[in-house]
Amino acid sequence: MNKFVGYQAIAKVLTVAWLMSVTLMVGCGGGGGETTSPTPAPVPPPPPVYTISGSIIDEAQLPISGALVSVNGIEADILTGPEGTFAIEHDEAFESPVTVAVTVDGYQSFASELAISTLDTDTSFALDEAISLETFEPWGFMQFSISGNTAGKSHAKRSGDCDCEVTVEGRATKSGQKEPRLMSLFVIDVSGSTGTNQIGNQSVFEVQVAALKGMLDNLTSGVSTQVGLIKFATDAELLVDFTTDFSAIKSALDDIVPETSGTASAATNYEAALDLIEATYASFSLNDSDIKSVAFMSDGIPTAPFGSGTTQEAGDRTSALEAATRLAEQGILVNSFPININSTLTTMPSISAITDGNYYFHEADSILTNIPKDSLVGVIGLEVRNVTTELDADPITLFSDGVFSANVCLTDESVNDVIITPIVCKDCNKDAYQTVKTNCDATEECSECAGQITNLILQYTGTSANASVRVTQRIKGKDENLFSGVVAPGAQFEFYGREKDKTMGSSIKVFINNQLNTEIKTSCGQPKTGPGLVSGDFLVIKGYSRNGGLLCPVD
């Protein structure tokens, strides 16, 4: 810089400063002169608000209302309306592609990376295409048995005849090919806010503990259900590995205390919890049929592992979504339970959508009533109805692991048709049911095939040790697996159909070591399929049709 110019600049600054001081002196003097106020500092413009929008449609291209949409782990403030549209505002710009998750009753969860485009301004974005959701898959697997015979049972409050009462007991799950174990991890948030935030006269932490204990009480003990316990804040810790001793889980819950708010260990790190979930399942010996289902509770938004731990950075959300994607690849379902969360930055709906788990939102005053009843296997309800007497079962008991029991009133004047319908969503269509024909002797009656075959138990009669067996049916031009596994000579295996009504279509194909071994008719046509049928290297042991119930043996 030219020295002369520099001196001029300094002189100018000094002159301006002197004039300002003179003005202030005059204004503050006692001569009654006019007061001159200093020029206020300019107000900085507000930070930009970025908006992303899109629409949700069904398979018929019709809009879907009531959908909860998340983009990059940020929830929309309101559910989609009659037009199926959503809009999300945030102070961070959206860059293509974005991670979009959608959950809505009656439809399969959606989670995927999608391209976006900039609209008329640099702060307005939209999905390039509408999101099309598929209707919900029906329940996957069910086992049941009939027992009891209470003759002369009186049901004055019911209509129709009731000469006896039988009990239908079993288990139903949203997925699976055979009787599964439930391997569940209970994950509890112990970040600082859980000890300070209140729900009524209890802390959020105390509510979480009570809710998890209630869920334990709604699980059936035994080797078919095992539970583990993880706590997390800034870091995550496995407190109890998988066990059938539910009292050990309760004792561990009694010993936990929340972290002290404001300390380095009190942040909310979803990624740490999800990574430990993955590692815990990986270290345990699991079967292909096991259901890996998590109960994940939190009262906050992820605030770690990035930044100070007290505020949320974009990386806190994206790291959680990436961890959820890794769980999905391992078939681990994360059922989320937000505990009194008001923020749209929780990412919990996204985590459940990515892993195909359920997102259970309950108002604060109903958490302890509802969470213990929530399903860990995707079956949220059960209908059992005797269509012969037009009476519903009463009572019906359904546990969180899908175990159920129902008392059914029968007439002894005819064979009773009892329909069992597991429910996997509130507004699901009820076509996926199983008919059982029974009587007051509490025995199942077999019948001619009606409404296509839904269920078969086959026995492998071949001699190849550890044969790799696969059963498929044709759906919409694609071969869908009904069963896949290693089967020893003489061993039996069971499976249900994959159509929306649980039927198997016109026929199924059975492969051994990827070579077609046989094709079995399942349409209720000729030749008949039932117990005693030998087809290829397989013997039919038992089976059901949708409307006829238990299949009678073939001649």
pLDDT over 70 at 7, yes or no:
no
pLDDT of 282-338, one tens digit each? Answer: 999 998 889 999 999 999 899 999 999 999 999 999 999 999 999 999 999 999 999
Beta carbons of 446 and 549 less than 8 angstroms apart: yes
Spatial neighbors of 388 by CB under 8 A, at least 6 apart, are: 410, 411, 414, 415, 416, 417
The CA-based diameter of the chain, rounded to the nearest angstrom, is 123
Closest CA to 79 of 340, 444, 361: 361
Q: Where are the beta strands (DSSP E) in 211-284?
A: 225-232, 236-243
300 close to 348: Cβ distance less than 8 angstroms: no
Pick the CATH number of 141-174+378-438 from 1.10.3470, 2.60.40, 3.10.450, 3.30.310: 2.60.40
3-state secondary structure of 323: helix
**pLDDT at 9 (0 to 100):** 36
- Beta strands at 403-410 and 396-398: parallel, antiparallel or unpaired: antiparallel
Region of 426 on the Ramachandran plot (φ > 0 left; ψ -120 to 50 alpha; else beta): alpha
Residue 143 has pLDDT above 60, yes or no: yes
Give the single-character DSSP code of 346.
Answer: -
Quote the tokens at residue 396.
Answer: 């019906």
CB half-sphere exposure, 159, CA atoms < 13 A: 4
| DSSP per residue, 11-29 | HHHHHHHHHHHHHHHHHHS
Give the C-alpha separation, 260 to 41, whole Å.
Answer: 41
| Torsions phi, psi for 52 (to 5 deg) | -125, 140
User: Residue 339's pLDDT is what?
Assistant: 95
- Nearest residue to 144 (alpha-carbon basis) of 360, 402, 505: 402
Check: CB of residue 390 under 8 Å from CB of residue 148. Answer: no
Q: What is the pLDDT of residue 109?
A: 94
Helix ranges restricted to H, 330-476: 348-355, 367-370
What pLDDT score does 161 carry? 65
* Tokens linked to 157: 């409050």
pLDDT score at 36: 60
Hey, which bits of 379-442 come out as E strands? 381-386, 391-392, 396-398, 403-410, 416-423, 434-438
Domain ranges of the chain: 1-31, 50-132, 141-174+378-438, 182-373, 453-550
3-class SS at 278?
helix
Residue 179: strand, helix, or coil? coil
Report the alpha-carbon distance of residue 162 to residue 155 in Å, rounded: 7
Alpha-carbon dihedral angle through residues 521, 524, 528, 529, given to the nearest 10 degrees = 60
User: Residues of the chain with pLDDT > 70: what percent?
Assistant: 91
What's the pLDDT score for residue 1?
39
Rounded to the nearest integer, the mean pLDDT of the chain is: 90
Residue 39 is predicted with a pLDDT of 79
How do beta strands 124-127 and 50-57 pair?
A: parallel
Quote the pLDDT of residue 37. 64
Q: Which residues on adjacent β-strands are paired with residue 368?
A: none
Report pLDDT digits (tens) over 463-516: 999 899 999 999 988 999 999 999 999 999 999 999 999 999 999 999 999 999
Q: Omega of the bond prior to 349 within 30 degrees of 0, cis?
A: no
Asked if 543 and 495 touch (Cβ cutoff 8 Å), the reply is no
Give yes or no for a contact between 141 and 496, defined as CB atoms under 8 angstroms apart: yes
Q: How confident is the model at residue 160 (pLDDT cuts 50, 70, 90)?
A: low
> Cis peptide leading into 42, omega within 30 of 0?
no
pTM of the model: 0.87
- pLDDT greater than 80 at residue 6: no
Residue 17 pLDDT > 70, yes or no? no
141-174+378-438 shares the fold of 50-132 = yes
**Length of the chain measured in residues:** 555
The CATH number of the structural domain formed by 50-132 is 2.60.40.1120
Task: Considering the domain delimited by 182-373, tell me its CATH architecture.
Answer: 3-Layer(aba) Sandwich (3.40)
| Cα torsion 359, 362, 363, 364: sign | negative
Per-residue confidence band for 222, with pLDDT thresholds at 50, 70 and 90 = confident
Q: How sure is the predictor about 427, in pLDDT bands with cuts at 50, 70 and 90? A: confident
Q: Are 293 and 182 in contact (CB under 8 A)?
A: yes
When pLDDT is averaged across residues 131-139 and rounded to a whole number, the result is 93
Q: Alpha-carbon distance 194 to 185, whole Å?
A: 20
